[in-house]
Chains A and B, each alone.
Chain A
Amino acid sequence: MKNIRLLKDSFVSKSFLALTILSISTVVLIGLGLFYKSIPILNSTSLYNLLFSSEWKPFKEAFGFYPFIVGTLWVTAIAIIIALPLSMLTAIYLSEYAHIRIRKLVLPLIELLSGIPPVLYGVWGVLVIIPLIQDHIAPHFVEFSTGYSVLAGGIVLAIMIFPLIISIVIEVFVNVPQDLRNASLSLGATQWQTTKKVVLRKSTDGIVAAVVLAISRAFGETIAVLMVCGNLAQVPQNIFDSAYPLPALIANNYGEMMSIPMYDSALMFAALLLFVIIFLFNALSRIILYRIEKRNN
């Protein structure tokens, strides 16, 4: 009887180990799978041309991703510029200033924000942000804009990454030892001075990690951006121009990709590009955050 129990235990141990190893190798598998599918395009076009050529003519087998890469960078940059100050201020307020009751009221709202599906952000963007830009913002700056623009994408994305930045930054602030704050306050520093000189300085690496994670989230967001960006394969000249970010390109063309030679390979290359960049960004910031957590324990 005892033997059966031990056998069961060691069987479970080995099979769970196998499953664990198999499943963490998904990271490698995704990379390899996408690479395998993009070999044809890598063989026919040089990497330099793929990344820096602006010529996008799938029928002529010309695949230059430059406009899409620039579009992605613009949208991401605007999202971070809007989201970072707002969410930093909110995180500081909630963790250093706000009464516990306010924190308990506001944090769940912010968490709910992160639970809203991207497509609903897209609908909201089309209903609210697009008309706002078209009628009230763009006319002050440019002659004509449909509203479907880099700016619209940036605003919608900014709202989508608020919860991410806030929750990580609050987590990082929590890991700053209370003694440090007390020491600073007892020297006569105001709360703001303590926050600025002690808490923020101590949290710099964690904040960097949060921002890098937010960038990678914004980088890969598809449907919401697709719905508000206009999707024109051009290099945007200003924030009221339409853009065509990489994830939107992949999502929009899956229908015809099997019918044009090399097209599917080109789109898989776009996915590989996203995967590699986001993998690196994520790995980097997660390692930083792990270190912070370890240092605190």
Chain B
Amino acid sequence: MRKIEENIFKVLMILSTVIISSTLFMILYTLFSKGLGSLNWDMVSKIPEGGFYIGKGGGILNAIVGSIYITIGSTILGLFVSLPIVIYINVYAKKNAALATITRLSYDILFGIPSIVYGAFGFAIMVYMGLKTSLLAGIITVTLMIIPILVRAIDEVVRVVPEDMSNAVFSMGGTRYESAKVILRQSIPGIITAILLSFGRAIGDAACVLFTAGFTDSIPTSLDQPAATLPLSIFFQLSSPIQEVQNRAYAAAVVLTIIVLVINILAKVASKNLSKNKI
């Protein structure tokens, strides 16, 4: 009797595992088979020409470049905030100190806040600061959204740097600041993983930039111009009734999928090399 129950559950477990792990391939298959046909060099190398949204010529270069600007800008800005925070809670605040715990807890909570809420908050800041929808407003909002990702991921790797490492610095008369430099150097592969993870998240998120980055057919040349992003360009084109425009959405989806897959796989490879420099 108990053997039967075990076997039934075993079958169910394997079935669930197969279903869940095959969803990835199902999704990739659908996106590629639908979009590859419409993907051509014009799509990725040209900005929309007049009448793009009624099926005339052009491509999605504006969205690709806009996404890259926002993603790189916010990742750099995010690093400036998150690296000091991680250093502070790991080097300056003693281990398990209340402040470190509270910081980790609040970043775990901030991590769970949906991007649409960041979008709405970013919009509120934008109005408060008198900005209009622009590259800058988009970068600020996305930065807010990815700081929790960066802090959690970098904290994860800095935490496991052996304590001996900083003790060695202290025993030679070094300051905490100098030990922080040593610890950071040890964590570089992990930091790269964190950067790639936040990159992947930032490039794929639509809800967050919906209010703040605006949308445009041209490539922004300064921070106060609106910028298009890939997810929004997919979203807008898909809602078009014209088949040709919809096909472009599918092609843009393939571009985004490839970018995200490459970033995620790179992150995997980088984190594999994590243990390289350990004592």
A interface list, Cβ under 8 A from B: 5-6, 8-9, 12-13, 15-17, 19-20, 23-24, 26-27, 30, 33-34, 36-37, 85-87, 89-90, 92-94, 97-98, 106, 108-113, 115-124, 126-128, 159, 162, 166, 190-193, 213, 216-217, 219-223, 227, 247, 250-251, 254, 267-268, 271, 274-275, 278-279, 281-283, 286-287, 290
Closest Cβ of chain B: how far from A215's Cβ, in Å?
11
The distance in angstroms between the C-alpha atoms of A227 and B206, with both chains bound, is 12
Contact of B13 among A97, A267, A287 (CB under 8 A): A97
Can you list the 8 inter-chain pairs with the closest CB atoms, starting with the nearest?
Answer: A117-B204, A220-B114, A93-B13, A271-B120, A192-B6, A89-B16, A9-B175, A16-B88
14 more CB-based (< 8 A) A-B contacts, given A9-B176, A93-B10? A8-B177, A24-B107, A26-B147, A30-B113, A90-B20, A117-B206, A118-B205, A162-B20, A192-B6, A223-B235, A251-B210, A274-B114, A275-B117, A282-B109
The distance in angstroms between the C-alpha atoms of A162 and B114, with both chains bound, is 17
The distance in angstroms between the C-alpha atoms of A8 and B178, with both chains bound, is 10
Contact of A90 among B17, B103, B128 (CB under 8 A): B17
Contact of B109 among A16, A27, A159, A166 (CB under 8 A): A27
Residues of A within 8 A of B41 (CB): none
Asked whether B249 is an interface residue with its Cβ less than 8 Å from the other chain, the reply is: yes
Total inter-chain residue pairs, C-beta < 8 Å: 244
Asked whether B136 is an interface residue with its Cβ less than 8 Å from the other chain, the reply is: no
Residues of B within 8 A of A254 (CB): 123, 210-211
The distance in angstroms between the C-alpha atoms of A227 and B114, with both chains bound, is 17
Residues of A within 8 A of B147 (CB): 23, 26
Closest Cβ of chain B: how far from A34's Cβ, in Å?
6
Known contacts A24-B102, A220-B114, A223-B231; A120 and B256 CB within 8 A of each other: yes
Residues of B within 8 A of A267 (CB): 120
Asked whether B164 is an interface residue with its Cβ less than 8 Å from the other chain, the reply is: no
Q: Which of B166-213 contact A (CB under 8 A)?
A: 175-178, 180, 200-201, 203-207, 210-211
Question: Are A220 and B116 in contact, with the CB atoms below 8 A?
Answer: yes
Residues of B within 8 A of A12 (CB): 176-177, 180
Asked whether B19 is an interface residue with its Cβ less than 8 Å from the other chain, the reply is: yes
Residues of A within 8 A of B112 (CB): 213, 216-217, 278, 281-282
Residues of A within 8 A of B261 (CB): 112, 115
Contact of B234 among A27, A87, A119 (CB under 8 A): A119
Question: Are A5 and B105 in contact, with the CB atoms below 8 A?
Answer: no
Asked whether B276 is an interface residue with its Cβ less than 8 Å from the other chain, the reply is: no
Which of the candidate stretches B23-31, B43-51, B54-62 sits at the interface with the other chain?
A: B23-31
Asked whether B84 is an interface residue with its Cβ less than 8 Å from the other chain, the reply is: yes
Asked whether B257 is an interface residue with its Cβ less than 8 Å from the other chain, the reply is: yes
Closest Cβ of chain B: how far from A158's Cβ, in Å?
10
Residues of A within 8 A of B2 (CB): 190, 192-193
Contact of B85 among A16, A113, A223 (CB under 8 A): A16
Q: Which of B73-118 contact A (CB under 8 A)?
A: 81, 84-85, 87-89, 92, 99, 101-103, 105-110, 112-118
Asked whether B21 is an interface residue with its Cβ less than 8 Å from the other chain, the reply is: yes
Asked whether B163 is an interface residue with its Cβ less than 8 Å from the other chain, the reply is: no
**Chain A minimum-CB-distance residue to B109:** A282
Asked whether B160 is an interface residue with its Cβ less than 8 Å from the other chain, the reply is: no
B interface list, Cβ under 8 A from A: 2-3, 5-6, 9-10, 12-17, 19-21, 23-24, 26-27, 30-31, 34, 81, 84-85, 87-89, 92, 99, 101-103, 105-110, 112-121, 123-125, 128, 144, 147, 175-178, 180, 200-201, 203-207, 210-211, 231, 234-235, 238, 249-250, 253, 256-257, 260-261, 263-264, 268
The distance in angstroms between the C-alpha atoms of A34 and B116, with both chains bound, is 12
Residues of B within 8 A of A120 (CB): 27, 31, 204, 234, 253, 256-257, 260
Closest Cβ of chain A: how far from B219's Cβ, in Å?
21
Residues of A within 8 A of B109 (CB): 27, 279, 282-283, 286
**Chain B minimum-CB-distance residue to A94:** B17
Closest Cβ of chain B: how far from A210's Cβ, in Å?
12
Closest Cβ of chain B: how far from A127's Cβ, in Å?
5
Residues of A within 8 A of B92 (CB): 13, 16-17
Question: Are B234 and A123 in contact, with the CB atoms below 8 A?
Answer: yes
Closest Cβ of chain A: how far from B224's Cβ, in Å?
19
Known contacts A9-B175, A16-B84, A20-B99; A34 and B253 CB within 8 A of each other: no
Question: Are B21 and A110 in contact, with the CB atoms below 8 A?
Answer: yes
Contact of B30 among A30, A87, A128, A219 (CB under 8 A): A128
**Chain B minimum-CB-distance residue to A124:** B27
Closest Cβ of chain A: how far from B63's Cβ, in Å?
12
The distance in angstroms between the C-alpha atoms of A34 and B211, with both chains bound, is 14
Residues of B within 8 A of A90 (CB): 13, 16-17, 20
